[in-house]
Structure 1
Amino acid sequence: MAEHASSFKPSLSLVDATMVVAGSMIGSGIFIVTSDITRNVGSAGWIIAVWLITGFMTITAAVSYGELSGMYPKAGGQYVYLKEAFNPLAGFLYGWSFFSVIQTATIAAVAVAFSRYTAYLVPWFSESHKLWGIEKGLNAQGVMEYSFSISAAQVLAIALIMFLTYTNTKGIKGGKIIQTSFTTVKLLSLFGLIILGFLFVQHSFWGENWQTGMNATHLQQDASGNFLKDGEWLSIGGTALIGAIAAAMVGSIFSSDSWNNVTFIAGEIKNPKRNIGLSLFLGTLIVTVIYVAANLMYLNVLPLSQIAYPEGDRVAVAAANSIFGNIGAYIIAVMIMVSTFGCNNGLILAGARVYYTMAKDGLFFKRTAILNKNAVPEFALWIQAGMASVLCLSGSYGDLLDMISFVAVLFYALTIIGIFILRKKRPDADRPYKAFGYPVLPIIYIILALTFSIFLIKMKPQYAGIGLGIVLAGVPLYYLAVRIKKNV
């Protein structure tokens, strides 16, 4: 067998591609973020509305991407679409942001979530179990604080990333088996939890919670903007309500992100012109239905105050305890372990193909453009694993997630604007699939996405600003890469 393969092997069916979409979307978010959403909008109606708006945006973007995937059915996905619609700089800025924060920080956050819930079953893997650290001194409570430390949870998170990276270097087949099997298990588990939440809960809070209707409120905040657990619920409306919705949607958008990962592996999908667009629609629709149903279940089994402030924001654990008793926490822990394991496999599998395509254009490390004997970009997989591991150790992955939503939605909006540009630039190009609802639905998405981004800058200027700074830092890097390419 040759040391290197010359091209990708199309081996993923429509079902496999749909499992990549759904599996990459469902990580740990749906089990946690509804608490923050509730603190921001404070009513049953607006909790569901936030998830419906997010679902509409996600499905609209996904079916719009179907047109682009049909035009450019090759590895790289969104990087390729931005390059073709705008220019190579736009594509590079996405690829740079993808490597520095969007994909790698998501991989890190999902891996740490896996560790956190593993600690339910094996307490040794707790984040509080420090394996090494630079001591700073005791705090007022007599607990040792560290200027830098490595916990057992971080080590397990890195081990998970390395294991899944290794399995994916052995070829697309192993990654496909892991993705399809784990996604199937977590879909069935989530559906089961939702059904049991309506059938077997001892006390239903459905009527009580829905008395809040669409009366938007938020918890009182301190001078730093932190919600007060024992604060009053304050009514909100007007532009303040739009800001509250934008802040609430950070969690729902993060939970619904990564649906576009299937476009990165277009070179490995059978009949990509048909199956990528179809898998985007089916995968996002399935996940949106599950997310809305899960939140309806939360409203049935928990009072609004407990949805807003469960222990550690683990709303799914609180719901499972209400359904199953004390064993509920362990049931959810296993579900999240399965969910995050499968999610990270999809993220790791797909992400490396973006760096591969960038390297083919001379805009990334040269070795990244080489496929190994198993027809996968092995070096790209390992440098992605290295960056994600650094972010695991940084301890700042929570802050990075606030940046991801802003940066990701900004690039989604730009990519959908690209559909309009390409319709003018290349009116006669082969479009086996056209954006559903064009031009109305894509325009609505762009308006919603830009509104979200603008209000997120207003509500969380620090994180949105840093996210924008990371994107702009790619400008000098692009010109440096172009200069190196010319001199080679």
Structure 2
Amino acid sequence: MSDQPTSFRRSFGLLDATMIVAGSMIGSGIFLVSADITRNVGSAGWLVLIWIITGLLTLTAALSYGELSGMFPHAGGQYVYLKEAFNRLTGFLFGWSFFTVIQAGSIAAVGVAFAKFSAYMFPVLSEKHIVADLGFMTISAAQLTSILLIVLLTFINTLGVKEGKLIQTGFTLAKIAALLALILFGCFAANKTIWDANWRSGFVLQQMSATGGMTHLSAYAGAGFAALGAIAGSMVGSLFSSDSWNNVTFIAGEIKRPERNIGRSLFLGTLIVTVIYVATNLVYLGVLPLREIAFAENERVGVAAAVKIFGARGTYIIAGLLMVSTFGCNNGLILSGARVCYTMAKDGVFFKQLATLNRNAVPGKALWIQCIWASLLCLSGKYGQLLDYVIFVVLIFYILTIVGIFRLRRRRPELPRPYKAFGYPVLPLMYIISASIICVALLVYKPLYTWPGLCIVLLGIPVYYAVWKKKD
């Protein structure tokens, strides 16, 4: 008889699940995207407000997902919720977008970020160090490092849940502690003159130019629309930096008491990250003039702030922190992402060979196909372009998933709901409206972020009907 396991082992407790949420959220974004946000909004008040709005939206969505996780405590998370609330095609379109763009692109980008910051410590790993020139493409040391990282973490996660869990919990606790230390030292290093100067602009919405000019958005005839476009454009970075909180739902089949612990971990993880992100930006405003935040070299606001706080060694301190941060972040993405491929395969809408667990009770084949695709994206260099499209696609599926709560309450009231969406129906409805406004604004003002992503989603429709059509 075969000793292959046929079901997951419930190995993750509340702390582990919370670390999946927080660890998957915290990557390199918090150290970079505040530059773009500041250029778009031009004031300290709006910089902080963008992060607070992002945090509130994320918390609202996370609290709403708690109800769905209690109803369907199975591997696959959001894919399962969309399939149950709507139909198999809707679930497939999420899984298709998730595999081709959202998760694989994120894994590739975080892997390359790890390599870039490793190059501070070990210059030989720089993206400027070309290892091979194949004529039609070049391969840098940074790309090879990112692929080796992805392969290493994939291999570790094929050994079983225990190994991946230890890395995730350990590295996430380490980077949270390091971020809190950065915030604490930043408070001691804060310069009152810089702080006061930054807050003179208050909550004036304006755009900053590299030449030193300021464009007040109220000067436009359509001031309201211009402001909406600036805010929506600014939130691309903050939303992406706060994304992947839902990864814990993909491993629901491996969490102890999932009907309670998933909802709790979603709340605790997103709250911890939101507080850290807002506090980190307040530190930036205390040590760096607004213009230095907006035009930090290579967008590396975190590096610029660390140099102010720790002196010349700050570059190495922040590089070390980012290596820990991106290592742990990628482990969470790799661990959880393969469960979606596995669940889709079980449903007959993805490669059937992936619908098996290895002897360690993890989806080994799904982990390796995810590894191969993410590695190819690292080599192609196209992950950056894919990630430009991600946040619009992600928001669409978040909106649909929360709409699914309303549909399921009406159509399937008999389902057990050990945890109910906080503030229902007001807060979930507010999220749907707010996220929809951001999507529409992005469609109008940031078409390069939106239409390609929408096309990738829609491409899944002919794929579904041509290859994996199943009767609902």
Q: Give the TM-score of the pair, scaled to structure 2.
A: 0.97
Deviation at 1:328, TM superposition (A): 0.4
**1:209 and 1:304 in contact (8 A); partners too:** yes
1:428 aligns with 2:417: no
**Corresponding position of 1:144:** none
1:368-407 pair list within 5 angstroms: 368-407=354-393
**Corresponding position of 2:22:** 22
1:458 aligns with 2:444: yes
**Corresponding position of 1:267:** 253
**Corresponding position of 1:309:** 295
Q: Match for 1:236 among 210, 217, 232? A: 217
Residue type of the alignment partner of 1:313:
E
Deviation at 1:454, TM superposition (A): 1.1
Deviation at 1:239, TM superposition (A): 1.2
Q: Match for 2:205 among 199, 216, 222? A: 216
SS at match of 2:468: helix
**2:73 and 2:252 in contact (8 A); partners too:** yes
Distance 1:473 1:443 in 2: 29
* Cα distance per residue 1:54-109 (max 9 Å; x no partner): 00100000000000000000000000000000000000000000000000000011
Distance 2:163 2:134 in 1: 40
**Corresponding position of 2:306:** 320
Distance 1:482 1:397 in 2: 26
Q: Which range moved further: 196-205 or 461-470?
A: 196-205
Deviation at 1:23, TM superposition (A): 0.3
Q: Which range moved further: 451-460 or 205-214?
A: 451-460
1:192 aligns with 2:181: yes
Distance 1:200 1:49 in 2: 23
Q: Name the Cα RMSD after superposition.
A: 1.3
Distance 1:436 1:299 in 2: 33
Q: Match for 2:353 among 350, 367, 382? A: 367
**Corresponding position of 1:340:** 326
1:131 aligns with 2:112: no
Residue type of the alignment partner of 1:414:
L
**Corresponding position of 1:87:** 87
**Corresponding position of 2:265:** 279
**Corresponding position of 1:7:** 7
**1:198 and 1:297 in contact (8 A); partners too:** yes
Residue type of the alignment partner of 1:291:
Y
Distance 1:148 1:217 in 2: 41
**Corresponding position of 1:224:** none
**Corresponding position of 1:252:** 238
Deviation at 1:400, TM superposition (A): 1.6
% identical aligned pairs: 61
**Corresponding position of 1:164:** 153
Distance 2:200 2:41 in 1: 14
Distance 1:37 1:134 in 2: 38
Deviation at 1:205, TM superposition (A): 1.3
**Corresponding position of 1:75:** 75
Distance 2:256 2:303 in 1: 39
Q: Match for 1:176 among 165, 168, 184? A: 165
SS at match of 1:327: helix
Q: Which runs of 4+ in 1 moved over 3 A?
A: 201-204
1:144-155 pair list within 5 angstroms: 148-155=137-144
Distance 1:204 1:300 in 2: 9
* Cα distance per residue 1:242-298 (max 9 Å; x no partner): 110111001000100000000000000000000000000000000000000000000
* Change beyond 3 A, Cα 1:204–1:120: farther
Deviation at 1:457, TM superposition (A): 1.6
* Change beyond 3 A, Cα 1:190–1:12: same
Residue type of the alignment partner of 1:155:
L
Deviation at 1:391, TM superposition (A): 1.0
SS at match of 1:131: strand
Gaps of 5+ in 1: 136-146, 221-228
**1:204 and 1:302 in contact (8 A); partners too:** no
**Corresponding position of 1:53:** 53
Distance 2:28 2:458 in 1: 30
**Corresponding position of 2:101:** 101
**1:82 and 1:415 in contact (8 A); partners too:** yes
**Corresponding position of 2:115:** 115
SS at match of 2:138: strand
Deviation at 1:148, TM superposition (A): 2.0
Q: Which range moved further: 104-113 or 204-213?
A: 204-213
Distance 2:208 2:21 in 1: 35
**Corresponding position of 2:221:** none
Deviation at 1:482, TM superposition (A): 3.4
* Cα distance per residue 1:405-431 (max 9 Å; x no partner): 110011000100000000100112110
Residue type of the alignment partner of 2:126:
S
**1:109 and 1:392 in contact (8 A); partners too:** yes
Deviation at 1:396, TM superposition (A): 2.2
**1:165 and 1:385 in contact (8 A); partners too:** yes
**Corresponding position of 1:226:** none
Residue type of the alignment partner of 1:185:
A
SS at match of 1:100: helix
